[in-house]
Structure 1
């Protein structure tokens, strides 16, 4: 008896034959769907009468027939179906629902609402090709009177591949699906990509696509990527905004994104335009972002954008991937004038981005053949921080909106802006930072309410009288220079923040109308109409007018030239003056005024100019309650000193009882010896004066050193003798020597 598992050789052979037949048989067709595969393979025309399917065998099948009738067409299988002739059919009336509207009056544009379901479907794994490289092979029905283009009524779903091998201008309706829509390179046809497409696959532009026109808008809310290997040409209807959020890629030399807009319109690009070295057509990507920043053999990663009189915005404030990453060797950016309109490029990011290429105005790759015809804006979006790491070559304005930062120069290269000409101005309401390391630059026509920061080793020069910005000026390192009438008189504060910081006045006196502070060097003279804080070195003269105030902090103001107060009162001795207010914070004010001493603010010691002759000089305004202890060497209580041509008597109990005050006396420089003896006289040394432990400034000592006291407060008797030996030789010449009050 045979085992139940035994199968005869004849049965095995029969099963193998069945399996082979099943392997080559077409997939099952749903009930009511007509399979026209045999007709297509035989090149017979097909008249649709409902839903129809073609199963394409492996390899390439060229169909020389046409589809007509009423229904839908689904292309499936593992091969490629090439259509050599135009076909025209329609959906059944019951499935037609889309609303086509033309609006805009004298500037008409067309929109499609509630699109019809797809009339053509390309299933996954299958390729449908329109055309053989000529002008025919399209499936389409065109019943609409749409200005400017022919809208295809037959919408298409692409889950496989739709290849557009046509040399004419055409439209394929509304695209859906997840696959690939591709145009071969060198195929000089144009796809009118019109309307809103729910397509979530990849669009491969091999030669040219019109993505929006004045006659229709475009939207690709879900498209995964754009593989751009030709010219991606964007345009808009009047007063419309077109936003494309896709990343763009390219694999061939010279592809570009060209943007046009109508008045009142703009184009927003929120993705990034990169080279692609992996993923093929269906999933383009870049293995290393740095490839965008270095030249590749044969320049295959060279790509660009031409902005043709358009208003373009890179970013929408929700990303910090710059649209065009690269250098002049890998990208080009051109701003052109078109139809009487100049271009405008706005950077709108929520974090730092770097532009490594120049913005010019030449043709395609020759971007520096002419200046760019347009303006650049850094939008005031929170976190928007844009770096120009290349010399810019556009001829328009640069606007930094409030809250935004524009930096010139980075580790990738030095940056600059084109200067000269009526249009070339900077409107800075945010922050402009210059941090070039090698390339010195000039900036002119700089206005706005924003701040300027010099932080690079290379020199930045402000030129011309149109430097009018009102924000803070900060020099962190390197040199900020003024030339040809440029001033900082409108800047609300000028700060030098390191010993390497240098402010070059260009041979003219720096007019300080607000605040000058820090620890760097002012190369030139200073005219103080505001507040100057100690710690700086001034290589020229220091002149202070009636309104000016010198605030002495932890370190002295060093002046190489003359020190002149208002009214011509010259305080200079030996060409130098210095003032020191001890260590730590201070709550005292030393002032020179034409009346009573000025009140003290926490953390300040100051010298204020008055008119000549000065009746009373408050050297130290002690704002606390404790007595002032000690005395300056040689300046005991009541000692007479001479300042210019006036004799003063010093007291350590002046003002409200604990201030150091000089009061003009009736005594002349030729007073008798007995008069001098009665008041006391001594050499002006550097013995410290300090306040008690309690009170507003505690125990900190305050000293006006020899440069300003030892040199300026000269005992009257010594002045009459023409000088004498300084006593207390064990102390540092001209420096503070504090003794803390207890």
Structure 2
């Protein structure tokens, strides 16, 4: 019984069309025996070399089979539908590929030196395997491969190959630049094993296994995948599988599932985007903003399920994030299977994750916390923003040179971490930037050698005794608060960079330990104990206590204190000299004590009324100046004219001889001297104390050279 479109009484006309197509075909495509008439007549074909079928326009359904030894090329402009399985092989002289089963107790299959194609679909033609059933595949299966059947009949697709099968199947090694498409809702599974040179587009309508424990998959030349079903990536034991193509979705309900075996890893370097144009052959998105805008019936919602896998987004050569979107347009699930999952971000520029990582089932991301950990890899330029509150229960590691930002600094882009999980902690060896605009952040268990920056208007609170990071703490904007025993005792430097910067030290106060600095222009709320270096310009909304180990550096104006002031330790006279020389000040306020109590104590060697020689002017220090309790320096001798000769300027830079009881800036500088600050008036304008002056290069156990050496005492 004839069952194809062209098996009618008009067969002569169809054959005439075939002849015309054959004549028009290029010489290379015309090679081989033409069996078009046999196919149109539904006769079985035995191959005995290179064989050609020229498919006329429309659809031709073939109920016969191909067998024998040879190759089959399908060309023309129509569609050839195969309804029965065919089995043939290449002639022996053309067979060269080696198939090996490796891995011992964990076997996996490798194919090397692949055979040339046994089947070729020429440009313009369509070959369809099956008609919605379980048969219609061309294949030969001589290999004893574990858990899947490896097809020996490799295929080249420059036209279209349609996989209309409900069974599990393998196509061998694929090449060409056309389209391989699988209709939706058939639930057939394509085991896409091995390494392929195919450079066209894959349209997955149901299920593709691009890697399994029994084989690795490599598709280095594939440009795009239109994923309208489930694309599953897995690895053999200890193997890395890289998927470099862009994925697109056109309809609701597709996802990418990622798994890996112990020691295995999956690297995804492209993007998973919605597609609103380009059809099957060239899926594309007209506007990147559509990935972040909910569409009708959720047709642009797509997701990934990471199932106990080691997954990396990016390979350090791109800054296009794998899942562009928001909680309304994408979902990301981090699950535990054989082990907890690990997701690493490896980009060479800024990327933004606009959706939460959770652990629910498919679209229901927030039904459970994600079971896994996150790493921001230390690739130069890797700058990752979490613009959504995350819901995974594990650790977050920021490698050296990498940046993690919580919040993007814009309305609707606040971020955060789930802090209640047993595995929660932050290992920050790079830069952690807190940039929420309205949602308050609360973080704990922060360790590592990296820096922390508060840059958003919303308050960030650090809690608990496990805040132990050692990098610099910077408050650029908003408030950074310390509660529940949290301190910054291990942070090497604390900087409040603007008048609106606020550090709320709580009832425990802030202790600036040896070798550490507190600088800037903002406000510290709470008591400050200075055992290290504090720079003027700050406001302490609380008590200020400077121990004998502490040092006050005059920078950006006086230190302003609203509580009690207790003084000991050093005053950096070189910095004071720079200030005095820059503006020829007659009076310099060191501590602006805004509270009502009396300032107690004094800087080492600088009792009430002691004289200091700064540049070419003698000053007297007072601890009851200003409104009665400020620390001030008042000039007691006139400054010489600015028209001094070069020799006078040199003598001024060297400093006048010290009279008994008079402190000098150069003596106070411990041998370095204060001359770098006062070489010329032009150099002094806008001069700030170098950072190296704050630490003074001394560690524990080192002798204090000091700004107040014995010479001046």
Smaller-chain TM-score bracket: 0.7 to 0.9
Q: CA deviation at 1:22?
A: 7.1
User: Residues 132 and 528 (structure 1 numbering): CA distance in 2 closer, same or farther, change over 3 Å?
Assistant: same
Q: Cα distance, 1:52 vs. partner?
A: 0.9
Aligned residue pairs, count: 620
Q: Once the 2 structures are TM-superposed, how far is the Cα of residue 420 of structure 1 from its aligned partner? A: 2.9
549 and 587 in structure 1: CA distance in 2 versus 1, 3 angstrom threshold: farther
Q: 1:197-228, CA deviations, whole angstroms, 9 ceiling, x for partnerless residues?
A: 00000011101100011111110010111111
In structure 2, the partner of 1:294 is: 293
Work out which of the residue numbers 351, 358, 361 in structure 2 matches 1:360.
358
Unaligned runs of 5+ in 1: 1-17, 570-577, 593-606, 636-641, 645-649, 663-690, 702-742
1:111 CA displacement: 0.6
2:406 to 386, 397, 408: 408
Tell me the equivalent position of 2:419: 419
- The 8 Å contact of residues 692 and 698 in structure 1, kept in 2 or not, is answered as no
Shift of 1:584: 3.7
Aligned to 1:326: 325
Instruction: Give the 4+ runs in structure 1 shifted more than 2 A.
Output: 20-26, 28-32, 578-588, 607-611, 614-624, 628-635, 650-656, 658-662, 691-701
Q: Which whole-Å CA distance do the structure 1 matches of 2:611 and 2:58 have between them? A: 98
> What is the CA distance between 1:449 and its match in structure 2?
0.3
Q: 1:661 to 1:140 in 2, by over 3 A?
A: same
- Using the alignment, how far apart are the partners of 2:676 and 2:245 within structure 1? 69
User: 2:174 is matched with which residue?
Assistant: 175
Q: Partners in 2 of 1:298 and 1:552 — Cα distance?
A: 63
Aligned to 1:250: 249
Deviation per CA, 1:281-323, whole angstroms, max 9, x where unpaired? Answer: 0111111000001101111110000000101010000000000
SS at match of 1:188: coil
Shift of 1:334: 0.5
Deviation string 1:117-165 (CA, Å, 9 cap, x unpaired) is: 0000001111111111111111100000111211000000000110111
CA distance in 1, matches of 2:621, 2:109: 90
Give yes or no for contact 1:260–1:307 (8 Å, CA) kept in 2: yes
- Contact residue 454 and residue 479 of structure 1 kept, 8 A: yes
Taking the TM superposition and a 5 Å limit, the aligned residue runs for 1:497-512 are: 497-512=497-512
Q: Which residue of 2 aligns with 1:448?
A: 448
- Cα pair 1:469 1:491 within 8 Å, conserved: yes
Separation in 1, partners of 2:584, 2:511? 27
The alpha-carbon deviation at position 60 of structure 1 amounts to: 1.1
Helix, strand or coil for the counterpart of 2:22?
A: coil
Greater shift, 327-336 or 37-46, is seen at: 37-46
Q: Offset of 1:426 from its aligned partner?
A: 0.3
Selected match of 2:22 from 27, 44, 51 = 27
Q: Is the Cα–Cα contact under 8 Å of residues 530 and 548 in structure 1 kept in the other structure?
A: yes
CA displacement at 1:698 relative to structure 2:
6.3
Change (3 A) 1:84 1:518: same
Larger deviation, residues 260-269 vs 548-557 = 548-557
Give the Cα–Cα distance (whole angstroms) in 2 for the partners of residues 328 and 579 of structure 1.
57
Q: Is the 2:610–2:620 Cα contact (8 Å) retained in structure 1?
A: no
> Using the alignment, how far apart are the partners of 1:444 and 1:343 within structure 2?
22
How has the CA–CA distance of structure 1 residues 142 and 22 changed in structure 2, closer, same or farther, with 3 Å as cutoff? closer
| Structure having the higher Rg | 1
Match for residue 595 of structure 2? none
Partner of 1:562: 564
Provide the C-alpha distance between the structure 2 equivalents of 1:633 and 1:452, rounded to a whole number of angstroms: 38
Separation in structure 2 between the aligned mates of residue 392 and residue 472 of structure 1, nearest angstrom:
25
Q: Is 1:467 aligned with 2:467?
A: yes
Secondary structure at the aligned position of 1:232 is classed as strand
Query: Greater CA deviation, 413-422 or 188-197?
Result: 413-422
Rate the CA distance shift 1:505–1:237 in 2: closer, same or farther, 3 A.
same
What SS does structure 2 have at the residue aligned with 1:368?
helix
Give the match for residue 648 of structure 2.
Answer: none
Cross-structure match for 1:116: 115
Q: Name the SS for the 1:25 alignment partner.
A: helix
Work out which of the residue numbers 359, 371, 374 in structure 1 matches 2:372: 374
Residues 552, 579 of structure 1: 8 Å contact kept? no
SS in 1 for 2:70: strand
Residue 88 of structure 1 and its aligned partner are, at CA, apart by 0.4
1:106 aligns with 2:108: no
Looking at structure 1, the residues matched to 612 and 341 of structure 2 have their Cα atoms a distance apart, in angstroms, of: 61
Deviation at residue 608 of structure 1 after TM alignment: 9.5
* 8 A Cα contact 1:591 1:620, kept in partner: no
CA-atom RMSD, angstroms?
3.6
